[in-house]
Structure 1
Amino acid sequence: MIFKYLNHLKLILFIYFFLINSAYSEVLKSIQINGNDRISNKTIEMFGNIEVGDNVNSVDLNDILKKIYETNFFENVSVNLDKNILTINVIEYPIIQNINYNGIKANKIKDVVFNNLKLKPRSSFVKIFLQNDKKKIENSLKELGYYFSKVDVDLINLEDNKVDITYNVELGKKAKIKKISFIGNKIYKDKKLKRLIVSEEYKFWKIISGKKYLNQSLINFDERLLKNFYLNKGFFKANIKSSFAKLVDEDEFELIFNIDANKKFYFNNLSLKLPDDFEEDNFSNLFKLFKELNGEVYSINKVDDILEEIDKVTLLEQFESISANVVETLEDDKINLLFTIEKTKRQVVEKINIFGNNVTRENVIRNQFEFDEGDPFNEILRKKTINNVKNLRFFKSVDSEVVEGNDPNSKIINISVEEKPTGEIAAGAGIGTNGGSVMFSVKENNYLGKGIQLKTSALIREDSVKGIFQVNNPNFNNSDKAVNFNLESSETNRLANFGYKTTKTGFSFGTNFEFYDDLNLGLGNSNYYEKMVTDSSASERQKKQEGNYWDSFLNIDFDYDKRNQKFQTTEGYRSQYFISVPIVSKTNSLSNTYNYQYYSELYEGNVSNISLYMKSINSLSNDDVKLSERIFIPSNRLRGFESGKVGPKDGNDFVGGNYATAINFSSTIPQLFENSQSIDILFFVDAANLWGVDYDNSLNDSSKIRSSIGLGVDWLTPIGPLNFSFAETLSKADTDVTQSFSFNLGTTF
Structure 2
Amino acid sequence: MTKQKRAVTRVQAQETTKLTQRSFAIFLLISALLLALPGIALAQNYQFNTINVEGNQRIESAAVLNYAGIKKGQTVSAGDLNGAYQRILASGLFETVEITPSGTSLKIKVEEFPTINLIRFEGNARLKDDALAGMIQSQSRHVLNPSIAERDAANIAEAYSLQGRMAARVTPRVIRRSENRADLVFEIFEGGVTEIERVSFVGNKEFSDRRLRRVLGTKQAGLLRGLIKQDTFVTDRVEFDKQVLRDFYLSRGFVDFRTTGVNAELARERDGYFVTFNIQEGQQFKFGKISAVSEVKGAVASEYLDALKIKPGVVYSPLLIESSIARLERLALKQGLDFVRVDPRITRNERDLSLDIEFAIVRGPRIFVERIDVEGNTATLDRVIRQQFRIVEGDPFNPREIRESAERIRALGFFENAEVNAREGSSPDQVVVDVDVVEKPTGSLSFGGTYSTNDGIGIIVKFSENNFLGRGQKLSLSFATASELDDYAFTFVEPFLLGRDLAFGLVLRYQEAEPDQVRFSNTVGEFSPSLSFPVSEFGNLTLKYTGKNEKLQIAASQAIPGSIIDSEAATGDIWKSSLGYSYRYDTRDRGLDPNSGVLLEFGQDFGGLGGDYEFIQTTAKAVAQTRVYHEEITLRAVFEGGALYSPNRDSRITDRFVLNSQKMRGFEPFGIGPRERGVTATQDDALGGNYFAVARFEAEFPLGLPEEYGINGGVFYDVGSLWGLDNSSANVLYEDFSLRHVIGVSLFWDTPIGPLRFNFTKALRKETYDVEQNFDFTISAQF
Larger Cα Rg: Structure 1 or Structure 2? 2
- The 1:386–1:662 alpha-carbon spacing in structure 2 relative to 1, beyond 3 Å, is same
Distance in 1 (alpha carbons) for counterparts of 2:399 and 2:598: 33
Judged with a 3 Å threshold, the aligned counterparts in structure 2 of structure 1 residues 692 and 148 are, in CA distance, closer, same or farther, namely farther
Aligned equivalent of 2:493, options 462, 472, 475: 472
| Alignment deviations for residues 362-420 of structure 1 (CA, whole Å, 9 cap, x no partner) | 22111111222222222232223223223223334433333222223222222333334
1:542 counterpart = 2:565: yes
**Residue equivalent to 1:334:** 354
1:309 alignment counterpart: 327
CA distance in 2: counterparts of 1:207 and 1:700, whole angstroms: 54
Offset at residue 444 of structure 1 (A): 3.2
How far did residue 644 of structure 1 move?
A: 2.8
- Structure 1 regions of 5+ residues with no counterpart? 1-97, 121-127, 156-165
1:666 equivalent in structure 2? 698
Helix, strand or coil: the match of 1:687? strand
1:594-626 Cα offsets, whole Å, 9 max, x none, are 11112345665454332221112343443232x
* Aligned partner letter, 2:765: S
TM-score for the superposition, normalised by structure 1: 0.69
Amino acid across the alignment from 2:661: S
Counterpart CA distance in 2 for 1:244 and 1:456 is 48
Instruction: Look up the match of 2:364.
Output: 344
Structure 1 position 353 matched with structure 2 position 379? no
Distance apart, 1:283 and its partner CA: 0.4
Q: Deviations over 1:427-450 (max 9, x none)?
A: 655555545454644433233432
3-state SS in 2 of match to 1:737 = coil
1:94-105 maps to which residues of 2 (within 5 A)? none
Distance across 1 between alignment mates of 2:750 and 2:416: 31
Amino acid at match of 1:648: P
- CA shift at 1:534, angstroms? 1.3
Q: State whether residues 173 and 187 of structure 2, in contact with CA within 8 Å, keep that contact through their aligned partners in structure 1.
A: no
Cα deviations across residues 474-496 of structure 1 (Å, max 9, x unaligned)? 223321111222332322112x3
Q: What is residue 83 of structure 1 aligned with on the other side?
A: none
The answer as to whether partners of 2:246 and 2:258 remain within 8 angstroms in 1 is: yes
1:366 & 1:232 partners in 2: Cα distance? 30
Partner of 1:413: 433
Q: Is the 8 A contact 1:353 1:414 kept in 2?
A: yes
1:695 and 1:109 map into 2 onto residues whose CA distance is 70
Which amino acid in 2 is paired with 1:306? S
Q: Please identify, of 328-337 and 356-365, the stretch whose mean Cα deviation from structure 2 is larger.
A: 328-337
Q: Does 1:389 align with 2:409?
A: yes
Tell whether 2:302 aligns with 1:281: yes
Residue number among 734, 739, 743 corresponding to 2:768 in the alignment: 734
Question: Partner of 1:634 in structure 2?
Answer: 660
Aligned equivalents of 1:244, 1:497: Cα separation in 2 = 58
Matches within 5 A, 1:99-114: none
**Counterpart code for 1:464:** L
CA contact (8 A) 1:657 1:693 kept: yes
What is the letter of the counterpart of residue 258 of structure 1? F
1:588 aligns with 2:614: yes
User: Per-residue deviation at 1:315?
Assistant: 2.1
> 1:17 is matched with which residue?
none
Q: Does 1:272 align with 2:292?
A: yes
Residue of 523, 528, 532 corresponding to 1:503: 523
Length-normalised TM-score, structure 2: 0.67
Aligned partner of 2:741 in structure 1 is 708
The number of aligned residues is 632
How far apart, CA to CA, are the structure 2 residues paired with 1:381 and 1:425? 36
CA separation of 1:474/1:111 partners in 2, compared to 1, >3 Å: closer, same or farther? farther
Give the counterpart of 2:625 among 599, 610, 613: 599
Q: What residue is the counterpart of 1:95 in the other structure?
A: none
Q: Structure 1 residue 531: deviation in Å?
A: 3.5
* Residue ranges of structure 2 left out of the alignment (5+ in a row): 1-115, 140-146, 175-183, 678-683
Distance 1:249 1:502 in 2: 64
Distance 1:622 1:401, change over 3 A: same
Q: In structure 2, which of residues 529, 535, 540 is the aligned counterpart of residue 520 of structure 1? A: 540
- Contact in 2 for aligned 1:614/1:661 (Cα 8 Å): yes
What is the RMSD computed on CA atoms of the aligned residues? Answer: 5.0
Deviations 1:228-261 (A, max 9, x none): 4444344444556777988789998669573747
Q: Distance in 1 between matches of 2:173 and 2:342?
A: 54
**Number of the residue aligned with 1:657:** 689
1:689 alignment counterpart:
721
Q: 1:559 aligns with which of 575, 581, 584?
A: 584
8 Å contact kept, 2:329–2:340: no
Q: 1:488 to 1:182 in 2, by over 3 A?
A: farther
What is aligned with 2:339?
A: 321
Q: How far is the alpha carbon of 1:520 from its aligned partner?
A: 0.7
- How many Å separate the matches in 1 of 2:341 and 2:403? 10
- After superposition, the C-alpha distances for 1:305-356 in whole angstroms (9 at most, x for unaligned) are 3122222122223332244444555445433434444322212222322333
Contact 2:217 2:241 in 1 (8 A): yes
2: CA distance, partners of 1:343 / 1:657: 61
Q: Which amino acid aligns with 1:232?
A: S
**Deviation readout 1:30-57 (Å, 9 max, x if unpaired):** xxxxxxxxxxxxxxxxxxxxxxxxxxxx
Q: Identity over aligned residues, as a percent?
A: 22
What CA distance in whole angstroms lies between the structure 2 residues aligned with 1:140 and 1:323?
46
Q: Structure 2: which amino acid aligns with 1:542?
A: I
The whole-number CA distance in structure 1 between the counterparts of 2:634 and 2:642 is 26
Return the alpha-carbon distance in structure 1 between the equivalents of residues 654 and 613 of structure 2: 12
In structure 2, give the amino acid aligned to 1:562: T
Deviations 1:523-560 (A, max 9, x none): 22333444332133354332341543443332321112
Task: Tell me the equivalent position of 1:576.
Answer: 601
For the 8 Å contact 2:292–2:305, the answer to whether it is kept is no
Deviations 1:691-745 (A, max 9, x none): 1233434323432332435353444466765544555534322222344555546
Of 238, 254, 258, which residue of structure 1 is paired with 2:277? 258
User: Using a 3 Å threshold, how does the CA distance of structure 1 residues 468 and 105 change in structure 2: closer, same or farther?
Assistant: farther
The one-character-per-residue Cα deviations of 1:655-682 (angstroms, maximum 9, x if unpaired) are 32121111223345x6x85687466555
